[in-house]
Homo-oligomer: A and B are copies of this chain.
Amino acid sequence: MNLSQLDTLAQDIIIRAGERIKQSLHKEMTITEKSSPSDLVTNIDMETEQFFVKEVSEALPEHRLLGEEGFGDTITDWDGYVWIVDPIDGTTNFINQQRNFCITVGIYKDGVGELGYIYQVMTGELISAIRGQGAYQNGVLLPRLKNVEFEDSLIGVNASWVAPNRHIDHHQVAKLIKRVRGTRSYGSAALEISYVVTGRLDAYFSMRLSAWDVAGGMVIANEVGALCGTLGGGEFDLLKKQPFIIANPALFEELVKDYLIS
């Protein structure tokens, strides 16, 4: 199976997973707390991940799958093909709003992101990329990002990083938000990344993200010229929960060095 065929298969699985989620909105769902009262999972998150595991293992038994809900494989190395899947990114939005959540998938080969997807289920907006072949929104090529001015920028940042917290110097974040045109917060890392790669936001950062939140988005980011990394400016390690930033290329370095570096 070449990359183009793999892309067709992945898009087909993602769209069908989205259909299942939409149908589930009419049924009662089960909500369970994970690490904290604001870290929730539903039976739909779990069933959707199991759907991915089944579809991928049937079509491509040699591919492995790393999923947020743990139904895939235990990944400690990146040999061969690995699908990195968040079946519902923005579970709180899914529960409270029945919108503003995404399916996001990255397909990595020997640790290199080859294919990336962010699918906003309720609007049908599908952003996809094959490495080196550009990024598309529902089949339309996304332009590479134009440089923006700091003072004209919109930044995705949750209010919790401006309040005292254990992960970042909130005084620095407060200084940053006074300088930019405005801030937004949508409650789904994948949705916010999709806003940066389309130029609707000029940066987004959060302090505790995992591979499944960003793996698809990082492949897309490369194709439009958005820069990604940790807040130390280094590469995001897909095996760790850690800070993550994606930004317009004109903002990335200054954001990290002057405001966010720990």
Contact = CB atoms under 8 A, between A and B. Distances in A.
Contacts of A181: 37-38, 92, 96
Interface residues of A, number: 35
B185 A184 contact: yes
Interface string A143-187: 000000001101001111111100000000110011001111111
Looking at A154, A159, A161, A185, which has the most chain B CB atoms within 10 Å of its CB? A159
A200 interface: yes
Copies in the complex: 2
Contacts of A201: 96-97
A258 B163 CA distance: 18
A187 B187 contact: no
A195 B195 CA distance: 20
Contacts of A157: 159
A131 interface: no
A183 B182 contact: no
A177 B157 CA distance: 14
A259 to B, nearest CB: 13
Nearest to A163: B174
Nearest to A148: B96
Given A159-B157, A163-B174, A164-B174, A184 B186 contact: yes
8 closest Cβ pairs, A-B complex: A163-B174, A97-B200, A162-B162, A185-B185, A159-B183, A159-B159, A159-B162, A38-B181
30 contacts: A38-B181, A38-B182, A92-B154, A92-B182, A96-B154, A96-B181, A96-B199, A97-B195, A97-B200, A97-B201, A98-B200, A123-B123, A154-B187, A157-B159, A159-B159, A159-B161, A159-B162, A159-B173, A160-B178, A160-B183, A162-B163, A162-B174, A163-B173, A163-B174, A163-B177, A163-B178, A182-B187, A183-B185, A184-B187, A185-B185
